Amino acid sequence: MNPNWKKEILEWKTDGVDAALAIQSGTAKDSMDVVKKDGKVITVSGDHIYPERNILVKQFQHQLQLKEIIKTLAQEVMTGEIKVMIEHIYPFEEANQALEKNETRHARGKLVVSL
């Protein structure tokens, strides 16, 4: 993992980002640090964090209601309540390039592979 990712995000978006998704264990608190006031942090990492700066925190644990949780999350993305920034859409034939970019941890948005 890039140890400077927080600094790089805050250089890119000086007032912070609208939302962050913490997937890796140990990244939820750092995700809070890059989200602007009134933003959102969603964590599936298992980390337990508490709201600060009026940031909405949604912590999803592995549970049987996962289908409903994902459905709600998808609805929030579709209505614009949660904004998803797409950096690049790769054709399926270039999926390895998307994976290589993801492994650099320098993506400035979601990397999408189109089927």
Distances (CA, A) of 40 to 20, 43, 92: 7, 10, 31
Q: What is the pLDDT of residue 62?
A: 56
DSSP labels for 80-110?
TSS---EEEEEEGGGHHHHHHHHHHT--SSE
Contacts 24+ apart (CB under 8 A), 53-57: 57/32
Walk me through the domains of the chain, giving residue ranges and CATH numbers. Answer: 5-82 (3.40.50.720), 85-115 (no CATH)
- Phi, psi (deg, nearest 5) at residue 27: -110, -5
Asked if residues 29 and 50 have their Cβ atoms less than 8 Å apart, the reply is no
Query: Cα separation of 13 and 30, whole Å?
Result: 15
Evaluate the CA torsion angle 109, 60, 68, 76 in order and state its sign. negative
Evaluate the CA torsion angle 8, 56, 19, 68 in order and state its sign. positive
Q: What is the pLDDT of residue 73?
A: 87
Query: Cα separation of 92 and 113, whole Å?
Result: 6
Tens digit of pLDDT per residue, the chain (115 long)? 678 888 888 998 899 999 998 888 788 899 999 999 999 998 887 888 889 999 999 887 655 576 788 888 889 989 999 888 888 999 999 988 888 888 887 878 888 888 7
